[in-house]
Homo-oligomer: A and B are copies of this chain.
Amino acid sequence: MFDSEFDLIARYFSHLGASRSDVLLGVGDDCALLRPPPGMDLALSTDTLVAGCHFFADVDPEALGHKCLAVNLSDLAAMGATPAWASLALSLPAVDHAWLQGFAAGFGRLAEQAGIALVGGDTTRGPLSISIQVQGLLPAGQGLRRSGAQAEDLICVSGRLGDAALALHQLQQGLEPEPALRARLERPSPRLQLGQRLLGLAHACIDISDGLLADLGHICRASGLAAELQLEALPCAPELLASGDWSLPLSGGDDYELCFTLPAEQAAQLPQLAAELGLPLSPIGRILAGEGVACRLADGRLYQPKQRGFDHFHD
């Protein structure tokens, strides 16, 4: 029975993440039993990462364990939710204890930091694929949505855009990215604190997983409005700024920063919030009447983007 499915789950995944008093029963029965606190809504998200599509099959398993939880936590951050519970469905071609140990370590470390408990797991034999579902808590009725943007809102982003895509580009060229840049691709930091601070402040919020243009486009469509970006205001690496090629910050994807819209009168709060969080927060444009996302250069000309984000069915 050493390598059986049951032992696998028990050995690596039964006690990962935070210990929480609202988990009445964790991994190991037909279901986990959870007690949601009164007066709170749940935010729920699910994301799958498939080897060869979302990551290289030989990626460091510890980084992979971190990243596949991080991309899910990033969705909670975008709603302003506080992480609570996660479940993990893992398909593996074979049992590899060193790999499982690394994966569980990466997953577990981030889960503990984020205060989320792993409460459900399923391990099956199959092509390497990881599907995670996370749930977070929100004061009732407070969740940040894509649909709340209003005309004249300021569009803001956290952190830097295009770093992950630049690191991936360098790896694909056979180059070794700087460690800090590589970490932006392999160990993204979900902006959980920022999301929670935006509750009651931002009108709309989304996380940037598919690229700024695609994700800001979701806010515009859901809100029935348009956006205009000032390209030179985009926070990105000096080599990207210098190149004049905006494709990576606009469409590279995998950034896991937050893009949010603020009523203009709240703009003055940005520097203080950025300082408290130790995270750059940059105003990059405005919400307008109309539809679509326009990109304007400093000289006033419109810029025509080359790609429009990442689509899993259009490689």
**With an 8 A cutoff between CB atoms, is A43 at the interface?**
yes
**Complex contacts, A5 vs chain B, CB 8 Å:** 311-313
- Among B129, B138, B315, which residue has its beta carbon within 8 angstroms of that of A127? B129
- Among B24, B38, B206, B313, which residue has its beta carbon within 8 angstroms of that of A8? B313
**Complex contacts, A42 vs chain B, CB 8 Å:** 33-36
Copies in the complex: 2
**Complex contacts, A138 vs chain B, CB 8 Å:** 33
Whether B45 lies near A41 (C-beta < 8 A) is no
- Among B51, B79, B120, B140, which residue has its beta carbon within 8 angstroms of that of A30? B79
Give the number of chain A interface residues (Cβ < 8 Å). 71
Known A-B contacts A30-B78, A78-B30; the reply to A46 vs B122 at CB < 8 A is: yes
Q: Which residue of B lies closest to A90 (CB)?
A: B48
**With an 8 A cutoff between CB atoms, is A50 at the interface?**
yes
A48 → chain B closest CB, angstroms: 4
Comparing A81-89, A103-111, A232-240, A270-278, the segment that makes contact with chain B is A81-89
Whether B44 lies near A119 (C-beta < 8 A) is yes
Give Cα distance in the complex from A222 to B44, angstroms.
30
**Complex contacts, A145 vs chain B, CB 8 Å:** 25, 29, 33
**Complex contacts, A136 vs chain B, CB 8 Å:** 31
Known A-B contacts A5-B312, A89-B131, A131-B122; the reply to A43 vs B47 at CB < 8 A is: no
Q: Which residue of B lies closest to A34 (CB)?
A: B42
Q: Which residue of B lies closest to A38 (CB)?
A: B38
**With an 8 A cutoff between CB atoms, is A197 at the interface?**
no
Known A-B contacts A30-B206, A145-B25; the reply to A48 vs B124 at CB < 8 A is: yes
A147 → chain B closest CB, angstroms: 8
